[in-house]
Amino acid sequence: MSRFKSRHLRSLINHHLPLLYLQRVHYQRRIIRTDPFVANYNIMARLIDGKAIAKSIRDQAKLEVQELQARYPGFKPHLAIIQVGAREDSSVYVRQKEKAANEAGINITIQKRDSSITQLELLRAVQEFNNDPSIHGLLVQLPLPDHINEKFITETISPKKDVDGFHAHNIGNLSKRNSSPLFTPCTPKGIIELLNRTGIQISGKRAVVVGRSDIVGFPVFTLLSRADATVTLCHSKTDNLPEITKTADILIVAIGKAEYVKGDWVKPGAVVIDVGTNAVEDQSKKSGMRWVGDVEFSSVSKVASHITPVPGGVGPMTVAMLLYNTVESAKRFWKESRERHITNLPLNLFMPVPSDIDIASSQTPKPIKVLVEELGLAGNEYELYGQYKAKINLNVLDRLKTRKNGKYIVVTGITPTPLGEGKSTTTIGISQALGSQLGKIAFACVRQPSQGPTFGIKGGAAGGGYSQVIPMDEFNLHLTGDIHAVTAANNLLAAAIDARIFHENTQTDKALFNRICPVKKGKRTFAPVMLKRLQKLGINKTNPDDLTSEEITKFVRLNIDPDTITWQRVMDTSDRFLRRITIGQNSTEKNFTRVTGFDISVASECMAILALTTDLRDMRERLGRMVVATSKHGVPITADDLGVGGALTVLLKDAIKPNLMQTLEGTPVFVHAGPFANIAHGNSSILADKIALKLAGIEEGDEETETGFVITEAGFGADIGMEKFFNIKCRMSGLVPDAVVLVATLRALKMHGGGPEVTPGNPLAAEYLEENLELLEKGCANLIKHIQNAKKFMLPVVVAINQFTTDTEAELALVRKIAIEAGADDAVPASHWANGGAGATELAKAIIRATSKPQKDFKFLYELDKSIVEKIEIIAKEMYGGSDISLSDRAKEKVEIYTKQGFANLPICMAKTHLSLSHDPKLKGVPTGFTVTVRDIRASVGAGFLYPLLGEMQTMPGLPTRPCFFDVDLDFESGRVLGLF
């Protein structure tokens, strides 16, 4: 064949491969049968059209993606490529992959980095993609610059995302006969696919692989062996190589040498796969070069039965298999993220039940990293705090935004005794029962306890008995420092208030302006927070030098009226002597003293905001608009007026992330925020509930029976915690609960029936330890009222009877009968305190039944556009059973002020006793005919509610005569906390 004809033939091969693929060429008895077009060039081998086969694979991948997305809208395969430097060949390969991915419906992210990037910087970039759960395939385009270790980089890629198949984990498992890699290298996988789709039988055939690279040679050798071929691996230094290649029924050449294998090296009728791509000089080409393989096509094509052309043979298959691997990886990630297998921890039950701390210490928790992985969380969605705690990043909400929420259950209670009736214990018990006993995904969401009550008289809030959050000591003490962050933020704002008053009282307008807006490098600038204040003042200027003297005065002088300051300092210790203090007594404060006080940290509005915020931006806005005082002209003064809103956000930027822990049985628990249940809404955070609902939820297309549960606790009785949960928390979150669990004890019901006073530290009277149906039936009036209150929101109600060993069957049956007659969907005794999740299994089944029924439309108790007084009246009459309300002169004044300031449309957060349905703690049962007296009304504008005071509310607890801290100590040998509860 002439040189011209040879060049012309190669040109035709490059441009007409799909046509040639359809032209059958047979090798039989050394007689060539082909159509006239091919016969002119004396081609004996059938061309294996990699382009056409690759296209069919890409089309198949595209169809599969479309079908999965039709069923699961959240399914989105995503490939990431890091390209270092600007090598033309690398750029060409990356563009090819980008084009193919786009055509197949695969998202692709290409991160281009300069060739000067350090190895550490590149490793960080790889780790970011490793940790990003939206990325299913990751590759670093090779080659890399000389100063970067390629092997080190490829080994850093997660084996679960190594769609190139180069990681030692995948290569190693490929070489092991009884193991399967997560990914097979793309080129070898493409070679096998070419053989299979061309109808070439591999099993029983003799195969020879020329080339021993980790990318092609060794992997394809293994794949052929796995397909039951007898395989010989050769290389350029193999003795008698032509004799060995002549034995091959299937010859794979990947040696990297142009036209290395000649026709007389090939067995007649062999199948030849040419993997090489080599540039050789060719002056007839514009570029001065052409591409050839490792096989001399002109001679080998006359001997082989099938051959791959170059280009257009193996090359397109490499990209096609990369896409195939990416889709397979996305499917694997999708499946794993929805399976969520939680490993349960067995309980060793003892009778009598040991102390809470002894039970908690006897259980070994799972490493929290195991739990986050069981929940399907990715590396960038959590931060470990020691072995048993983690913070969950808010970006998980974006990843799971297409997922339907799980079932949402709120746990509340009847009016309690001072001992409490076990809402937290029941919350944990239900989650254990649903999770460890019934195999559901179940989250508990509870508040973080303050150290004030922990070391005071109440004890902890981790639950109790065999239904606890563990490690219990870490839960009840510092946890991850969220309360300390709230303390720091609150006190920074308190310091800013008094400092501003001091400086305004001691400086001229000019001096204030020069210090607030100092000249730096010859220029003054406003901080971003200052622009907010200017806007509030109606000053539309951005250059400090443009302000008039009048505008300067308005800007620098807040003119805070000290008598209107509502912001106090806080600390997380019960200390009654800080309730009222005088500050500014040092001589440096120049006699600017004032009376103020301390609250417990969880009473801070910063804590209420932490519980009600929906993201960082929302938290920043809420913190900035907190009203701390009024000016002498009656204007509300906010944190942003003081310029501190941004700093408060920075202090709380980590506290906003919910804390993940576990129960005694290994089921997940979110512990986040702990707003005071009297003056605030007393619920854990919206963010914890939202994240838990997504993690417990299902994707569109999944079976409804796979839906999980989120059990969140509302503080105090249903008249306070539940009412605020619905009218404040649900209103701000947009979440609608599926059911209410109302916790009751026979002890509390007997008290409401007229039983003796229950006092912490004193033994219970005989009436509470013996059967007394008459007292119990009378006290059930309180239970009935709470059931009726819950039903006002159009929700199912399940009564959880927190069972004690002294409760009798007759008493339990009576409560169940009365509860169901009052409208409860069910009433179930539960012994979770003594038996863990197993003791609440029937209760959990009742919750499943209640939430499986068709739901009525949820409704709020009142609309926000009603006046402040109307909203207070509705709560007092509907929830408490009062006949009327009475506002003090101070409260009436506040109504007028808040209405004028534009706060009348905020929801109401009633601050009242939890020990009675009324505002009087002495009135037990279901009091009627009483008038609710409103002593004062205060505003938590940042949190977003007004709180009327119905009595004297102590926001700083005091220590009792015998605090809990007497029993707390440390075992120096084991490091265990002793005597906590």
Q: Which positions are catalytic?
A: 97, 141, 164
Buried/exposed code over 499-531 (b: 16+ C-beta within 10 A; e: otherwise): ebbeeeeeeebeebbeebbeeeeeeeebeebbe
Count Cα neighbours of 567 within 13 Å in the Cβ-side half-sphere: 29
Question: How far from 245 is each of 232, 254, 298, 607, 663, CA to CA, in Å?
Answer: 9, 13, 17, 76, 64
Residue 877's CB is within 10 A of a number of other CB atoms, namely 14
Sign of CA pseudo-dihedral 545, 550, 553, 555: negative
797-802/826-830 β-pairing = parallel
d(CA 280, CA 40): 26
| Largest separation between any pair of C-alpha atoms in the chain | 115
d(CA 909, CA 540): 37
Buried/exposed code over 713-737 (b: 16+ C-beta within 10 A; e: otherwise): bbbbbbbbbbbbbbbbbbbbbebeb
The two structure tokens encoding residue 633:
């002209």
Smallest CA-to-CA distance from 811 within 844, 764, 774 is with 774
Q: Which residues on adjacent β-strands are paired with residue 523?
A: 520
Q: What is the 3-state secondary structure (H, E, C) of 488-524?
A: HHHHHHHHHHHHHHHHHHHCCHHHHHHHHCCCECCEC
Q: Show Cβ contacts of residue 733 under 8 Å, excluding neighbours closer than 6 positions.
A: 614, 686, 689, 690
Q: Can you tell me whether residue 572 is helix, strand or coil?
A: coil
Do residues 978 and 968 touch, judged by C-beta distance below 8 A?
yes
Smallest CA-to-CA distance from 663 within 465, 478, 799 is with 465
Q: Show Cβ contacts of residue 785 under 8 Å, excluding neighbours closer than 6 positions.
A: 881, 917, 926
CA angle 670, 721, 753 (to 5 degrees): 125
d(CA 904, CA 869): 9
Which H or E run contains 846? helix 841-852
DSSP string, 197-250: HTT---TT-EEEEE---TTTHHHHHHHHHHTT-EEEEE-TT-TTHHHHHTT-SE
Do residues 447 and 685 touch, judged by C-beta distance below 8 A?
no
d(CA 745, CA 90): 71
Cis amide leading into 159 (omega within 30) = no
Do residues 749 and 943 touch, judged by C-beta distance below 8 A?
no
- Report the Cα 250 to chain-centroid distance in Å: 51
Do residues 222 and 270 touch, judged by C-beta distance below 8 A?
no
The two structure tokens encoding residue 213:
């690279």
